[in-house]
Structure 1
């Protein structure tokens, strides 16, 4: 079976700095893959390249076997590829002048052409799914950080993505709010959502991920089941990184 996502020898540079240095990665259907690594290792850049927010300098990103980085793809096919992925960032990026339900319903209406009535109904269902049905009419400034991030997740789900990308979605949250957001991701994983997730929550990665990938210097250094990568890593660079995490009390 063709993987949902294939990244082949991906290179991304910003000026003289090479952020991704020939990186290879696969994510299969219903698989949860977590990206770990120090700041600057390339995790967020990889997610942005996969989601076609950043152009790549070399290599390929294939979605269901189709090279979505091929410049010959055409605007229509490129737009279709973008519609089959959704990304949630550290920052919530909600429109402050829209209620929670309006934020969630916007993309299905504007991008997918769904009627306002159907989009609002779907948005209401998703807000209920993330535990925010009672706050559907609230504006972002009336929501906590954890609630705003749950709205952002509902907004990503509203387009029924083939692949969900999560970029350190708990990094901007107070510690007591992290659990409520990770509970939603845990539910999505249990439901079979295909997820590629950059995280610093090692305990969560150990519990939920099918594979953990350690990035360093824009390369995939080590990849395997959580118990192997986090419990008995092969590479010295992985061991050094995890030792720092343990020293900081963040391994979980």
Structure 2
């Protein structure tokens, strides 16, 4: 029996001011899979994640979430977004709210979860991300790595079907990158379904089930990490990885 992917992207096209940023992208994310997007800056990774989360209108193509065509204009976009969690490069925490309130806000106000239940879920998540002692702290009292872990906990607060991670270590000092990647590694090990963009090739090699190399908005190569990162078939992929190696990111 064929198992339906959690996410299917088919023929996705997106342009800005006549510049085609995504050019017919196809990809699948299966149950409990980690699919990692790699590619140079401007290759379309962030735009792809924003389109999947319906934060951008599509010019063409389809997005299927558990077989539902969420790109259909008749589909409730808000309902679809509530099945996904997304974490950006910037932490986007509300500075005037405590860590606990940042995490419980959407479950309470958007999903209608009772405060007591939302609070318990948030405390459990803070314990899971190693920040149980920071529940009453405010974002400006946390390190960048701690803020990003709170942002991930917030994205997990309503148990999303699919977790989208957009270069979540790019804004961090190098010494803080490891703690955030360790959390993602733990989530992957616990069976999370994740689509993420990263420049951390060593991390991609460790956690990815599939690696997708994007260039100029198109999928150049896709496959298991040992193939794409270790023995790429396309010259463009090889050139990109050589540059990454020279930059010390693999």
TM-score (norm 2): 0.98
Partners in 2 of 1:198 and 1:79 — Cα distance?
A: 23
Partner of 2:66: 64
Partners in 2 of 1:208 and 1:138 — Cα distance?
A: 31
Q: What root-mean-square deviation, in Å, do the aligned CA atoms of Structure 1 and Structure 2 show?
A: 0.6
User: Could you list the runs of 5+ residues in structure 2 that have no partner in the other structure?
Assistant: none
Q: Does 1:2 align with 2:1?
A: no
Partner of 2:79: 80
Partner of 1:131: 130
Following TM superposition, by how much is the alpha carbon of 1:81 offset from its aligned partner in structure 2, in angstroms? 1.1
Partners in 1 of 2:207 and 2:4 — Cα distance?
A: 23
Partners in 1 of 2:60 and 2:152 — Cα distance?
A: 31
Partners in 2 of 1:12 and 1:85 — Cα distance?
A: 20
Following TM superposition, by how much is the alpha carbon of 1:195 offset from its aligned partner in structure 2, in angstroms? 0.1
1:83-162 matched pairs, under 5 angstroms = 83-162=82-161
Partners in 2 of 1:157 and 1:233 — Cα distance?
A: 34
Partners in 1 of 2:96 and 2:245 — Cα distance?
A: 42
1:36-75 matched pairs, under 5 angstroms = 36-73=38-75
Partner of 1:191: 190
SS at match of 2:23: strand
Partner of 1:219: 218
Partner of 2:227: 228
Partner of 1:30: 32
SS at match of 1:121: helix
Partners in 2 of 1:38 and 1:65 — Cα distance?
A: 31
Following TM superposition, by how much is the alpha carbon of 1:111 offset from its aligned partner in structure 2, in angstroms? 1.1
SS at match of 2:11: strand
SS at match of 1:34: strand
Partners in 1 of 2:67 and 2:230 — Cα distance?
A: 33
Partners in 1 of 2:61 and 2:229 — Cα distance?
A: 29
Following TM superposition, by how much is the alpha carbon of 1:72 offset from its aligned partner in structure 2, in angstroms? 2.1
Cα displacement string for residues 94-133 of structure 1 (whole angstroms, at most 9, x for unaligned residues): 0000010110011110111011111111111101100000
User: Could you list the runs of 5+ residues in structure 1 that have no partner in the other structure?
Assistant: none
SS at match of 1:246: helix
Runs of 4+ in 1 over 3 A off after TM superposition: none
Cα displacement string for residues 18-62 of structure 1 (whole angstroms, at most 9, x for unaligned residues): 000011010000000000000000000000000000010000011
* Matched length: 248
